[in-house]
Structure 1
Amino acid sequence: MTALAAIPAAADTLRDALVAAYKTNPALAADRAGVRALDENVPIARSGGLPSVRATGNYTENVLSSGDSLFAPAREAQAGTQLVVPVYTGGRVTGSVRAAETRVDAGRAQLRGSESDLFVGVVGAYMDVIRDEAIVALNQENVKVLNTNLEATRDRFQVGDLTRTDVAQSEARLSIARATLDQSRSQLIASRENYVRLVGNPPGTLETPPALPNLPAASDDAVDLALKNNPALIGARRAADATRFDVDVAKSARLPQISGVAGGSYYNYLGSYGAGTGVRPDQSGTAGTVGVQLTLPLFQAGLPAAQIRQAQERRVQAIDQATDVERGVIAQTRSAYAMWKSALQVITSSEAAVSANKLSLEGVRAENSVGNRTILDILNAEQELLNSQVTLVSARRDAYVAGFALLAAMGLAEARDLGLDGGVLYDPTINFNRVRNRIGDWSTGPVPQAGGTSTVGTAPQDATVTRPLDPELNQPVDTTTPNPAGVGK
């Protein structure tokens, strides 16, 4: 999606909102940490096939001994080391490593899905603010129009051109318009707060977003791409692949285990051996051993068979879960495509309705001036125009969000697709390559720190309109002068 990359680096563009969310959103940062935690399963699995060394030591005081134990030492210190080298584990280590690596791949795909979901949310929040600002502006204009109408109606009532009923109708419609304006303002505040939640900073004057590229020509084309590229589906399939290795690991519990073992020991009686007998035997000594250890399971009360069956059923579970995700991706893609196409049609219809309602309102006002239309007709025409304008604004928002959701379902709404390059892209392979071959027991990671930012210091949002209203949506205020001659009475 190079179109987003082509936007100038200015404040309050859609690209800037996406970059800010990508860099500071705590949910995405948490998912990245989860993938880094998955990376550690690979060295954990590899450790089962690598040599291990352990040392032991103890000190003993013999506080009670029989009378004939003349040479029993009163105290003893011992130290020893043992080296164990796994030679054959029945495939347990190999299977565990492959399962861990496959789950890392699944985690990366799921992280891609998290990125895509976040971007869909940001686009929705961005468009919500634009839509709700326009709706507030339309309602403000409507209140202004109705207020002017009410003043004109009262003037015409004073000269006997209209009745008290006409005034009451104008007053009621103005009161309703003011209530609707208050509701639209509260919705704008809610949309701005949601924007802050996702992006991390308040929206300013948001620019009109660029056109969405790479949208499919048909629903089937979208589904084909989604089945190949959707990150959630890729992650589910890789998670299912990992369970095949889990079955191999479970089977290894029935096979022999062979290890090479080497050890050394040292003891020292600390001068207490043979004390008081006049004989001074050696007080210390060393020993060393080298050998091979074979463990051959003969009977484990059905444990390995149960673990194998369990792993097999979990594999079936994972395969069916991947199929379920596939169904969801197909439904999501087709639904997004249908919503996008429907919203485009609504835009076309609404644009025609706005144009027609403007002409209708002008005609009704003109006819009212000669007595062929009532005040209620004017009020209804103004309401019809407002409704069509709100529908148009909402349809434009719905079309853009549905189009972006469609790109996300097809796997085309990730950081690289959106042109969020320039040093901000997160690469999950860096941490994996850094830790996969580590064997040091003391090579820990950095002190844990939050990856996302807090919005505690963000000021509460208000309903100020910062964008100029689209000229197509402008509704001129009725400035028709009262009819003092009483025409139409």
Structure 2
Amino acid sequence: MTAKRLFLRRSAATALLSVSTCLAMPAFAETLQGALAKAYASNPTLTGARAGQRATDENVAIQKAGGRPALDVQGSYTESILKPTISFTSPQRTLNAQTQLTVPIYQGGAVRNGVKAARTRVEAGQAQLRGTEMSIFSQTVAAYMDVIRDSAIVSLNQANVRVLEVNLQATNDRFEVGDLTRTDVAQSQSRLALARSDLQTSQANLITSRENYIALVGEAPDNLQAPPQLPGLPAEPESAVQVALRDNPDILAANKIREARAYEVRTAKASVRPTLSAFTSAGYTNYLHSLNGSAQDANGNVVEGPQINKQAAAGVQLNIPLYQGGRPAAQVRQSQALESQSIEQAIETERSVIAQTRASYASWQASLETIKSSENAVSASSLSLEGVRAENSVGSRTILDILDAEQEALRARVQLVSAQRNAYVAGFSLLASMGHAEADDLGLNGGTLYDPMVNYKRVKGKWFDWDFDRAPKPVATRTVDTLPQNANVSPEMAQPQITKP
């Protein structure tokens, strides 16, 4: 299929997974971009992080509620079981209702700073969500490449076992005619036994890689295609570090948390300031004709006393805290200590990102050099094996020489496949540490991307007390119904062509 050019939302880089040219492939083949799209839609770590961010969004509405009016209604019905012996006017029963409206006017800055802190934590949470997203993508890329690598290694070991089985048969035949000794047969048997052991180990590794892939993606790997190139990789480590300091979501989140802690210090200081609120209240009491006593009207006639009492009041309330046992000062000091902690954690995060970026760059460069060396080793070992076999046919080489040459050729091929995997994973990790490996950068074709701002805008200004959401349902897919994986390798996976990053 013709490749599409994908663009980063950041003007400084191109899309992470754009493909320059890609051949047509069967419909059942899985691409790296498809695996990432599935993980993006159904990985439980990522879907759980989104739910956690939605919970963080609600803190803004919670803090705003502290500055909004509050309306309370209370009601009671009282039936007197035993009337007081010294009271002759006590009612037998009472129906009472009372309502009060309170409007905060000034809360010492607690509401304003609390809202600012909550908004800043929303921004920090959104950055952390980006970090989780890139972490899942990095793990998915590693799992994808592990399956490709381990499939190739299993195929190489299977081929090695078949070659050694032929060698053993040929050795036995030559031993029967007296051309070789028992030692040559024993050497062939030993190498075949070791090769079968290596094959079993590689098969177990492949099963582990496939199960890990299922845990991340939610589906079994099926005919994984060679991954595309990774454009936008930096030319030198310092340029990567500069991009990471600007775009890495962990650094952005740490800085936002530090900013939120500063607002929380101001919120704590509000507890020693005066507060002012306005209120109005109304009451209604009905004694239900059970209030003893009588009264005279204007004509002197005896009538029943009043059975209903109504009242209403309005005013303002000023509260000036004078002494609270040292609690406010302790809370302020605690908030200041937490702010200090967040400052140190921001520096710690920056250090970690710088180290990770430089290490990923070094690992990527080292793997590229290993690929070159391994390609040379594969070519040289193949020529060496052919020469040793030719020399053995004329009697100048022993069976042990052939076995050693075959083992060396196998090691070179395994090292090449492993180096290709390591280079690609290191390159993707480098982009992730730079902050350029999230869904917006990948151009995933799995539907609309999740936008955390949609939920934040939906809930930040809600006032209604009964505005609940629907009961939550699982978003991530379960893998309990997937079949246990095996170590069977399809012909397409036997000879992988891993694109160099």
TM range (shorter): over 0.9
SS in 2 for 1:4: coil
Q: Does the 8 A contact of 2:41 with 2:446 survive in 1?
A: no
CA distance in 2, matches of 1:66, 1:14: 84
275-284 vs 132-141, greater mean Cα deviation: 275-284
TM-score by length of 1: 0.94
1:83 to 2:119 alignment: no
Q: Does the 8 A contact of 2:293 with 2:305 survive in 1?
A: no
Q: Name 1:53's counterpart in structure 2.
A: 71
CA distance in 2, matches of 1:453, 1:416: 23
137-146 vs 58-67, greater mean Cα deviation: 58-67
Count residues with an aligned counterpart: 473
Of residues 357, 374, 399, the one that matches 1:333 is 357
Of residues 213, 217, 227, the one that matches 1:209 is 227
1:285 to 2:303 alignment: no
**Deviation string for 1:9-28 (max 9, x for gaps)?**
95410011000000011110
**Deviation string for 1:76-107 (max 9, x for gaps)?**
11101000000000000001100000000000
Q: Name 1:424's counterpart in structure 2.
A: 448
Of residues 439, 460, 472, the one that matches 1:448 is 472
Q: Name 1:386's counterpart in structure 2.
A: 410
Distance 1:416-1:98 versus aligned 2 partners, 3 A rule: same
Q: Name 2:11's counterpart in structure 1.
A: none
TM-fit CA distance, 1:59: 1.6
1:131 to 2:149 alignment: yes
CA distance in 2, matches of 1:453, 1:234: 31
1:343 to 2:367 alignment: yes
Q: Does the 8 A contact of 1:90 with 1:252 survive in 2?
A: yes
Of residues 45, 62, 85, the one that matches 1:44 is 62
Q: CA RMSD in A?
A: 1.7
104-113 vs 63-72, greater mean Cα deviation: 63-72
Q: Name 2:423's counterpart in structure 1.
A: 399
1:219 to 2:246 alignment: no
Of residues 81, 90, 105, the one that matches 1:72 is 90
TM-fit CA distance, 1:152: 1.1
SS in 2 for 1:83: strand
Percentage identity across paired residues of the two chains: 53
Of residues 447, 462, 470, the one that matches 2:495 is 470
How do residues 222-371 of structure 1 correspond to structure 2 at under 5 angstroms? Answer: 222-274=240-292, 279-371=303-395
Distance 1:296-1:53 versus aligned 2 partners, 3 A rule: same
CA distance in 1, matches of 2:410, 2:124: 49
TM-fit CA distance, 1:444: 0.4
AA at the equivalent of 1:388: A
CA distance in 2, matches of 1:246, 1:154: 82
AA at the equivalent of 2:125: G
Unaligned runs of 5+ in 2: 1-13, 296-301
Distance 1:76-1:378 versus aligned 2 partners, 3 A rule: same
Distance 1:5-1:422 versus aligned 2 partners, 3 A rule: farther
Distance 1:28-1:472 versus aligned 2 partners, 3 A rule: closer
TM-fit CA distance, 1:423: 2.9
CA distance in 1, matches of 2:48, 2:282: 47
Q: Does the 8 A contact of 1:5 with 1:420 survive in 2?
A: no
Q: Does the 8 A contact of 2:16 with 2:436 survive in 1?
A: no
Q: Name 2:131's counterpart in structure 1.
A: 113
Unaligned runs of 5+ in 1: 474-489
CA distance in 2, matches of 1:46, 1:118: 34
Distance 1:18-1:64 versus aligned 2 partners, 3 A rule: same
1:32 to 2:50 alignment: yes
**Deviation string for 1:268-313 (max 9, x for gaps)?**
0100112699651110021111000111000111111111111000
TM-fit CA distance, 1:155: 1.2
1:177 to 2:198 alignment: no
Q: Name 1:484's counterpart in structure 2.
A: none
Q: Does the 8 A contact of 1:5 with 1:15 survive in 2?
A: no
Distance 1:143-1:422 versus aligned 2 partners, 3 A rule: closer
Q: Name 1:481's counterpart in structure 2.
A: none
Q: Does the 8 A contact of 2:16 with 2:232 survive in 1?
A: no
